[in-house]
Every structure is written in C-alpha cells, then in structure tokens.
Amino acid sequence: MKGEYYYRDYADRSRPQKSRRSLWGILLDLLVGVFSVVTILAAVLTFLAPFVNPGRAWIFSILGLIAPAVYLATVIAALYWIIRWRWGWASVLLVLVVIGLWRVPLFLKPELRRTYGEPAYGRGTIGVMTYNVRGFYDEQGRNSADSVLRMIRETGPDIVCLQEFNGRLAGDRALLEAVLPGYGCAAGAPDPHAEETGSASALLICSRYPIIRSGDVVGKSGYERHGRSIWADLRIGDDTVRVFNNHLHSTAIKADDNAFITEHRFLSDTASDERIRSIVRRFRDNSILRAAQADTIARAVAASPYPQIVCGDFNDTPMSYVYRRMAGGLRDAFSVAGKGFSHTYRGFFNTLRIDYVLYADPPFEAIGYRVLTEIDYSDHHPVLVRLRKVAAG
C-alpha cells in the first residue's frame, strides 16, 4: 500500500509538468507561425522590390534595403519547422530560400579557397577604381585631399571614377595633372542646384588611357541631374570604351540620423516620432528621385555605341529598382570576382554595398574585386576592380 501511494503521488505530480511542456511548445509554435507568416510576406515582396518603381510604391525601397535580414529570417524559420517536422510550413519557406539563392551572390560570395596577399595580374588587365571622396573631408571633418590623392597614386588604377570631388579642383586641369601625374581627366558640369543643396562637388573620370571625348548625361529636369552622371570615351588599344561615372541622389540620411537608428536613440528620444517621420519622408522622396535618375542613365548606357564600364555611388542596394535599371545587361564585378561579404558604405552597421563597378561582358571579364576597407578618408570605401579583355563569343 505504501509503495502504491508513492507511485500515485509521483504520477500525479508529473502530469501538470507534462501539460506545461506541451503548452510552451504550442505557444512557441504559435509565435514562430506568426513570425513565419510575416517572413513569407516580406520575402515575396522583397523579391518584387527590384521590379517596382518607387514612384509607384516607395515602400519597396525599404524592403530592398532589408533584403539580407529578410532572407536570413526565412532560413531560420525554415530550419525551425524542419526540426519540428512540420513540412507544410517548411516546404513553403524552403521554396523561398531556394528562390533567394539566386540573389545571394549580390551580397555574399563564399570564399572556398583562401588567398593571402595581393594577387599578381598579368599585363593587359585594366584596373578600375570608384570612390566617393566626400568633398575631401573624413567623418571627423579633417581634410583628406592629400591622403586620397596619394592613395590613388600608390594604388595605380588605370581608370578612376570619383564622386563628390572638389568642384574647384575638378575645373583646374593644370593642378589635376600635377596631383595625378599620368592621368587625363574629364569633369562633369557644375551642379545646377549647388546653392540649394550646399554642394560644390563634381564628378571626375581620370584615365591613363587617352580620353577621346566626354559629356554629361542630361535628364528631363534639373533635379534629375543633381547627383548626375558623366561619361568619357577612352581609347584602350585599338578599341573605344565608354566609361560612365554616376552619383545618384543621396538618401539624405545624415550621420546624426544614422546614429539615431543604430544607437537606438528612438527608444528614449521624446521627439522620436517626428524624427522618424522626417527620416521616412526624406527616404521616400529621394528613392523616387533616384529611380527617375536611374531610368535616364540606363537609357544613356543602353544607347552607347561602345562597350560600357559603369561606376559610381548609386545610393541603393543590389535588391533595388535603381540597381536593376543601372545593371541591366551588364555584369556586377562583385558577383563575379568578389569574396565574402562586401560593404562599401561606412555607416548603418557596415552592411550596405552601394558603390559599384559594372561592365559589358563581352568584351570584359572581372578577375579581381576588392573593397579597400582600410581606407577611412570618407564615409565610403574605395572599390578596386581588375578587368581583362576577352574575345567575343
């Protein structure tokens, strides 16, 4: 009898614990289920982001910005349901994971074989650099002109595309030849809205190859030209190549806005609602403007009579309408020759790749890609790409 009493007492105590474990399991499944629904919707909309003009639905610009996080959430949710043996949920999420694999190389290139040191490139390759120099001021407000120009001379790219270059220096050909010996340079027209925007910057293409002619890409309206695009035809051997240097309109998210987000100040700032509305409003308006600029530039690139190299600060991510329009028919040097995870902007948790080198294939092939993350003379990092010419067909 005594043994039977202890047995019943143990059994009675164990039942509520089993019920509690089941309840926690149900609650966890419910929470992950809600998370999965949100993730599935976000993933589908993210896949659509490159195809929707922000002028029609600007919210897709935000979805493109957070695309890597959405994809990671999709993978995590899929793994959870696989572990739980819930194949209804898992199968839907796995389909989205597989579809997303086609976009992963735009953000991440697994480094299967690690290399050390700077690779040796054969003769006949073409070094291309793009760099937003931020008016020659670093993030502490110190003048970085000497450091930037010295870095270019030491790195020695054959073609250099600079954004936010000092407007006065860009117009002084003799001084440019002195500070960048061996290069010929073509500068864009002055910013038509310099007084309104406080900008005195210019676009500059410098080349070791002869510059045959150059010009500006002109949009339908003045504001499409702000953050403009310029081009230069270069004689490379027996061929002519058209190089485009672009600086699409900024998001207008300033350093203080970046700190407001990344340092979670919005959780304690009493004026956070108005600040958030201001950030969203600027992001919306400038996303729409960039899309119009990208349409104009894409038409100019497509109309080029020569093979193209397209460089610059697009101020948008690879999962955006702007990137799709700018990269139409071209190859992205990172997706071909990059390694690991690439970021070119030094804010927003170092997660954004918004500076690009695109090229026509054929006649070019990317054999090297590097972001000079050790260079901190601006709020961007320089991007250095190595191209080689290949035979058509």
Reported for 31-38, long-range contacts at CB under 8 A and 24+ positions apart, including other chains, are 32/77, 32/80, 32/81, 33/89, 35/73, 35/77, 36/77, 36/81, 36/89, 36/93
Q: Which residue has the higher pLDDT, 23 or 331?
A: 331
Average pLDDT over residues 22-50: 94
Q: Is the pLDDT of residue 58 over 70?
A: yes
Lowest mean pLDDT among 94-108, 116-130, 182-196, 276-290: 182-196
β-sheet with 201-207: strand ranges across: 184-187, 201-207, 159-166, 126-132, 383-389, 364-371
Q: Say if residue 52's pLDDT is above 50.
A: yes
| Rounded-to-integer distance, Cα 17 and Cα 368, Å | 60
Of the listed ranges 97-106, 246-255, 284-293, 330-339, the one predicted with least confidence: 246-255
Nearest alpha-carbon partner for 187 in 197, 199, 198, 168: 168
Q: Tens digits of per-residue pLDDT, 62-111?
A: 999 999 999 999 999 999 999 999 999 999 999 999 999 999 999 998 87
Q: Quick check: 193 pLDDT over 60?
A: no
* Span of 139-148, 156-165, 368-377 with lowest mean pLDDT: 139-148
**What pLDDT does residue 260 have?**
61
pTM reported for the whole predicted model: 0.87
**Which region among 66-75, 166-175, 342-351 has the lowest average model confidence (pLDDT)?**
166-175
pLDDT at 124: 82
pLDDT on residue 258: 61
Degrees, nearest 5: CA angle 150-153-154: 85
301-313 pLDDT tens trace? 999 999 999 999 9
Q: What pLDDT digit, counting tens, does each position of 217-244 carry?
A: 987 655 555 558 999 999 999 999 999 9
Quote the CA–CA distance of 329 and 35 in Å, as a whole number. 37
Model confidence band, residue 196 (pLDDT cutoffs 50, 70, 90) = very low
Q: Is residue 199's pLDDT more than 80? A: no
- Residues 281, 37: Cα–Cα separation, whole Å: 28
Q: Where are the alpha helices (DSSP H) in 217-346?
A: 222-225, 255-262, 272-302, 321-326, 333-337
